[in-house]
Amino acid sequence: MKGKFIVFEGIDGSGTSTQADLLKKYFLDQNQESHLTSEPSEGPIGNMIRQAFKGRLNLPKGDNPYLKGGDLFDEQMAYLFAADRHDHLYNQVDGVEKLLSTGASVISTRYFFSSYAYHCRSDSDFQLVASLNARFPNPDLVIYLNNPVNISMQRMENRAFKDEYENEQKLSLVKKNYDTIFKDYDGKLVIIEATNTPVEIHNSIVDAVREL
C-alpha cells in the first residue's frame, strides 16, 4: 500500500517546520513509518539554492531587460526549484516516490505551491511557474498555515540570518499569492489559522490526516 504525501505550506514564520515535526512524532506514536523532508531539498540542487539564499552563490538580480515586470532572481529560483523538485520526487536514493512506494508517509515543508507564492509577481511569472511544474503530482493533503505578515515578522525578529525573501514587502506579496492559488485549488486542502496555539493547530492537522 502506497503511503501518503503530506505537504505544509505557509509564509516564513508561520510554524510549518514546528508542525511538521509534531506530525512526524504523531506518526511515530502510532507506529506508522514516516519521513520528514523539505524544499529546497538536501540534494545537490537544493544545496545550491541554499547557498544562493545565503549569498555564497551569486545569482543575477534586478529587472529582466527582455521581459517587462520580470525579476531575474525569482526567475532563476523558479527554474532551480523545479529542477530540485524533480530530484526530490524521483531520485532513487531517498526520493519521495521511492519512500511512498514502501508504504511510508512523507511529510514535506513546501512543494510547488511555494513556487507560485514566492516566485510570481505578474501574469507571465505565473505562466512560467505553471509550465515548469505542470507535470508534478498533487500531494494527498496540503496543510496551509494562514499567518498574518506582521505576526511572521515578529516571530523572525531574533533569527541570526534572514534570506532574500524574509522581509515584510516580499511576504505580503507571498501571502497574497497563497490566497489566490488556494482559492482555486481542487485538491485535498485544509487551511488552519497559524495564530492558534501549537496544540490547537496540531490537533486540527491530526483530524485532517485521519480523514486520509
User: pLDDT by residue for the chain (212 residues), tens digit each?
Assistant: 789 999 999 999 999 999 999 999 999 999 999 999 999 999 999 999 999 988 888 887 888 877 776 788 899 999 999 999 999 999 999 999 999 999 999 999 999 999 999 999 888 999 999 999 999 999 999 999 999 998 988 887 766 555 566 688 889 999 999 999 999 999 999 999 999 999 999 999 999 999 98
pLDDT at residue 174, rounded to an integer? 95
Three cell numbers at 139? 500531494
Q: Could you give the CA distance from residue 184 to residue 143 in angstroms, rounded to a whole number?
A: 15
Total count of residues recorded for the chain: 212
**What is the predicted pLDDT for the residue at 189?**
98
| Number of domains comprising the chain | 1
CATH code for position 25:
3.40.50.300
Question: What pLDDT was estimated at residue 157?
Answer: 73
Q: Is the dihedral of CA 53, 48, 129, 191 positive or negative?
A: negative
DSSP 8-state secondary structure symbol assigned to residue 63 = B
pLDDT score at 44: 96
Instruction: Give the Cα separation of 136 and 139 in Å (integer).
Output: 9
Distances in Å between the alpha carbon of 14 and those of 35, 41, 65, 78, 138? 21, 19, 34, 22, 22
pTM of the model: 0.92
At 162 the pLDDT is 56
Residue span of the structural domain in which 70 resides: 5-210
Identify the burial level of 64 via C-beta atoms within 10 angstroms of its C-beta, where 0-12 means exposed, 13-18 middle and 19 or more buried. middle
The pLDDT value recorded for residue 1 is: 74
